[in-house]
Amino acid sequence: MNQVYLELRNVTKEFTSPFEEERIVAVNKVDLKINKGEMITLLGPSGCGKTTTLRMIGGFEDVTEGEIYLDGVKINDIPANKRETIMVFQSYALFPHMNIYQNISYGLEIKGLPKQEIKEKVRKILELIGLKGMENRPVAQISGGQQQRVALARAIVNEPKVLLFDEPLSNLDAKLRVKMRTEIRKLQKKLDITSIYVTHDQEEAMSLSDKIVVMNLGRIEQLGTPEEIYAQPRNKFVADFIGKQTNFLNGKVIESSNSEVDVEVWNKMFTFKGFPEFSKGDEVMLVVRPEMIDLLPESKGVFSGEVKLVTYLGLEVIYEVESNKENLTVQISNPLKHGIHKEGEKVSLGFDTKNIYLIKT
């Protein structure tokens, strides 16, 4: 049975504009329950409230309204340095004049732990993060990825109840980011530590998370597993924010019976199952991911089209196809197997309604 470990109840954060006497609502009545050992990612565009939410949990921002509970204890009035949460910052915040060992052991020394216990804890964490034997190296002389590991080790060695990540990989190059997010996920699962991760990178969120909280304008738009967020978006914002260039097709429910709906799109009829919330006459929007569309020879698919743009990426080809006076994005994997269509080529589009999700307009 899942145990709620961290809970936000009706949490709101307001700021006063420095230029006008008005209140800016950065986080608006957020309710969130996080289970013990879960890895949760707060995901959204800049200004959506994700970092402010994280900082309120860590005690770096005061809560305007609402309550935050950790392991059953209200922590609103507990200062950041007294909370059993630790933040891993974007800038790493390492001490440049110290070596790796000194950076990791600093928090333990502040707590007054015996030297031998500190030594043993640091030894274990160095082995865990793959930096064993490097403890005497100055942090100014190690790579960005190694600095990130040291920052992570410094947080974990203090054994917090909740680990907070504030876009910790944004300073790394793309290849190293992929490697580090994999290491963070493996470490988090191994230690079974409750973690909250903030990012605007959807791929990072999908690969790291047990659950994703999609935020917009200070509110939670949707909470769910990566699969649920991607395959069953609650609204257009979520569908558009998650995924690459999502296609949206307008349709109308012509018939509805026993969760099965017949939807007219571009003068053609399609049947969708599992949508009991729709009724006859409803205007709907089809969420069609680029990889859900098949590019077929002319007249073999449902809709005819013309290839307008071809982007070859090695593992895949991204096409822009004009159909019914609209441009659709199509993603085809393994181009060596399927071949590559040329710009100006006449094609047709096919898709399986089982892979398409409907939202209300």
The tens digit of pLDDT for each residue in 237-249 reads 999 999 878 999 9
Is the predicted pLDDT of residue 20 greater than 70, yes or no? Answer: no
Beta strands per DSSP E along 102-210: 162-166, 194-199
Q: How confident is the model at residue 148 (pLDDT cuts 50, 70, 90)?
A: confident
How do residues 59-76 score in pLDDT, each as one tens digit? 999 999 999 999 999 999
- Residue 285 is predicted with a pLDDT of 96
Is the CB of residue 335 less than 8 Å from the CB of residue 317? yes
Average pLDDT of every residue of the chain: 91
Q: What pLDDT, on the 0 to 100 scale, is given for residue 187?
A: 86
Tell me, what's the pLDDT at 172?
77
User: In which band, very low, low, confident or very high, does the pLDDT at 264 lie, cut at 50, 70 and 90?
Assistant: very high
Q: Is the pLDDT of residue 17 over 80?
A: no
Q: Please report the pLDDT score of residue 78 as a whole number.
A: 96
Distance CA(356)–CA(232), nearest Å, equals 9
Q: Is the pLDDT of residue 1 over 90?
A: no
Tokens linked to 353: 């309604």
pLDDT at 251: 95
Q: How far apart are CA 228 and CA 104, in angstroms?
A: 38
Q: What confidence score (pLDDT) does residue 55 get?
A: 96
For residue 145, the model assigns a pLDDT of: 82
pLDDT for 304 equals: 93
Q: Closest by alpha carbon to 199, among 49, 14, 41?
A: 41
State the pLDDT at residue 169. 84
Q: What is the pLDDT of residues 172-222, one digit of tens each?
A: 788 888 888 888 898 899 889 999 999 988 999 999 999 999 999 999 999
pLDDT at 36: 95
pLDDT tens per residue, range 296-337: 988 888 999 999 999 999 999 999 999 999 999 999 998 888
Residue-wise over 67-91: b if at least 16 C-beta within 10 A, else e? ebbbeeeebeeeeeeebebbbbebe
Overall CATH class of domain 4-240: alpha beta
Greater model confidence, 249 or 361 = 249
Residue 171: per-residue pLDDT:
76
Q: What pLDDT does 19 receive?
A: 67
pLDDT digits (tens, 9 = 90+) for 213-232: 999 999 999 999 999 999 99
Average pLDDT over residues 279-298: 93
Across the range 337-344, mean pLDDT stands at 90
Extended strands (E) in 73-140: 73-74, 85-88
Give span(s): CATH 3.40.50.300, the chain: 4-240
Which pTM value belongs to this model? Answer: 0.89
pLDDT tens, residue by residue, 63-115? 999 999 999 999 999 999 899 999 988 777 788 889 999 999 998 998 899 99
Residues of the chain with CATH 2.40.50.140: 244-360
Higher pLDDT, 338 or 65: 65
Residue 250 has φ and ψ, to the nearest 5°, of: -80, 140
Q: What's the CA gap between 20 and 125, in Å, rounded?
A: 49
Query: For the chain, percent helix, then strand, then coil, each to nearest 5?
Result: 30, 40, 35
Mean pLDDT, residues 324-351 taken together: 92
CATH fold label, 244-360:
OB fold (Dihydrolipoamide Acetyltransferase, E2P) (2.40.50)
